[in-house]
Amino acid sequence: MNKVAKPTIVVATDKDHAALCTADLIHQAVSENSSAVLGLATGGTPVGVYRLLVERFQAGDLDFSDLTTFNLDEYVGLAPEHDQSYRYFMQQQLFDHVNVNRERTHVPNGLATDIEIHVAEYEKQILQAGGIDLQLLGIGNNGHIAFNEPGSAIDSRTRQVDLTDDTIEANSRFFNSAADVPRHAITMGIGTILEARRIVLMATGESKAKVVQAAIEGPAAPRNPASLLQGHVGLTFVLDPASAHLLRI
């Protein structure tokens, strides 16, 4: 019989506990391998995770000095110093507060002059680092993972994409207006993400409940990119009760 791997589903007691469970999974990966390669995510969801990782570093419990990191995505056209760029986010939330070697932190370059060359190089750097041991993911209201919007192919690689109107709307909360949100991004592909040894998708809040349910219990289909993770052997969802309440578990 053909056995399809089932994801591990952790339903935390609340949003803070979800951050704690996610931080514990990252902590464990680093404890197992001090030179692990971590795939990191931006957005509102992982902020509490990074806060905990910084606290654990400050307490002497975590060492980032041998780690390598790759972020999922970046807006096209934003400089690393732009306060809405994902490089800036990572510096503010994590990198500036821990002993990670900046040279081993990778975020796609939103100002790359030749994006084709840049994305091919990004894929190559991931391979040269030995692949991603643990990839952290959020999920968009439309099911996107990184900036793989609905319709993205299961074998897609790092590339430039157009953002959908609902992503622009969702992300406009961080900008002065929706008009200021970049229209394009560089994102790791779904195929790139699926090559990570472990994937931890974290979601919190009622607004994610439907899309989480569709990702886990619906058919695997490009209309919900997160559903394309189904069958990955190292997949864990960390949810709070609000985002998990439609699941039949």
Q: How far is the CB of 135 from ligand PGA (least distance, A)?
A: 13
Annotated catalytic, 144? yes
- For residue 10, give the amino acid letter: V
* CB contact set of 239 (below 8 Å; sequence gap of 6+): 9, 10, 11, 12, 18, 202, 203, 204, 212, 247
CA separation for the pair 15, 87 (Å, rounded) = 25
138, 143, 182, 189: which one contacts ligand PGA (CB under 6 A)?
A: 138
Residues 140-179 that bind ligand PGA (CB under 6 A): 140
Q: How far is CA 222 from CA 50, 68, 96, 144, 226, in A?
A: 30, 30, 36, 10, 8
Annotated catalytic, 121? no
Helix, strand, coil in percent for the chain, rounding step 5: 40, 15, 45
Q: Annotated catalytic residue: which of 97, 141, 142, 184?
A: 142
Q: Annotated catalytic residue: which of 74, 133, 149, 195?
A: 149
Task: Say how many residues touch ligand PGA, by CB under 6 A.
Answer: 6
* CB contact set of 230 (below 8 Å; sequence gap of 6+): 4, 7, 215, 216, 220
20, 26, 40, 43: which one contacts ligand PGA (CB under 6 A)?
A: 43
Annotated catalytic, 99? no
* CB 39 within 8 Å of CB 136: yes
The closest residue (CB) to ligand PGA is 43
**Quick one: which H or E segment has residue 54?**
helix 47-58
CA separation for the pair 136, 196 (Å, rounded) = 10
Q: How far is the CB of 75 from ligand PGA (least distance, A)?
A: 12
Q: Pick the closer one to ligand PGA by CB: 7 or 43.
A: 43
Binding segment (CB under 6 A) for ligand PGA, from list 6-14, 40-48, 62-70, 154-162: 40-48
Annotated catalytic, 166? no
- Residue 110 within binding range of ligand PGA, rule CB under 6 A: no
44, 77, 151, 231: which one contacts ligand PGA (CB under 6 A)?
A: 44
Q: Annotated catalytic residue: which of 71, 106, 144, 232?
A: 144
Q: Give the active site residues.
A: 73, 142, 144, 149
